[in-house]
Amino acid sequence: MSFPERVKIVEVGPRDGLQNESVTVPAEIKVQLIEKLADAGLPVIECGAFVSPKWVPQMATSAEVYKRIERRPDVAYPMLVPNLKGLELALEAGVEEIALFAAATETFSQKNTNCSIAESIERFDAVIDEAQAANLKIRGYISCVLGCPYEGKVSFETVSMITQKLFEKGCYEVSLGDTIGVGTAGEARDLVEILTRRAPVERLAAHFHDTYGQALANIHAVMQCGIAVVDSSVAGLGGCPYAKVDGMGIATGVDMDRLLEAGRYISDFLGREPVSRAATALLRKRAG
């Protein structure tokens, strides 16, 4: 096993990192954050989600945010959409790439989308048909691939089946989410080895939460398996593997100084220090 020479970082902080914040983040703050992240050299920045503001009020300004950011030709700005209504709003805003999500367990699927795994995948058909007709790129997410808050252990065969279905339906990439952060390096490696029997590793991404301090070890493990796309969230809002990857001599194209500035910017607004241990250490080093 060997590590990739280059890893693509998909920044999800403006969506996944902020969606559960209790402090309302205004559109102008999100716009500034996204533009600072682009300044740092991030090639993909997930800007928000077209979901019900009743259930996810933090994402209510997603259309405004997307329309206000100064988009760059070398940066992708995907938006999460759960259904046809979300896609309709995305198309109205001029979005060029969307993300869809499924869950790896029946209970989480029912709790999160009020339908079974099979029903959630069937619902994708209409969304994907319209998205492809509009020439949108489509990325897939799978939640709870290494553990579920309701069912505990997850069937890797189920994750493999969902991954294959997402590829068959037109997703160019599938991101594997350890949503509650309970996975270990061995489990992460085993999962990827099973998935790559049916899917090319080049089309898989890692999305590991650091709830129990395992995210970096898990990323290290799956990179050894050939995964070269890693999701992250600035300032530790959802985890931050940049320093680890850079420290291994693997190219990311990310400017750490500018990334730290972006992290400090959103952390100052939220009124707290960055959660990322790497960011905290580097900021302290800067301060002398």
Catalytic residue annotation: 240
- Cβ atoms of 62 and 49 closer than 8 Å: yes
Phi, psi torsion values for 276, nearest 5 degrees: -60, 125
Q: Measuring CA to CA, how many Å separate 7 from each of 4, 76, 178?
A: 7, 16, 19
Secondary structure (DSSP) of 89-139: HHHHHT-SEEEEEEESSHHHHHHHHSS-HHHHHHHHHHHHHHHHHTT-EEE
64 residue type, one letter = E
Helices (DSSP H) in 114-240: which residue ranges? 117-133, 156-169, 185-195, 215-224
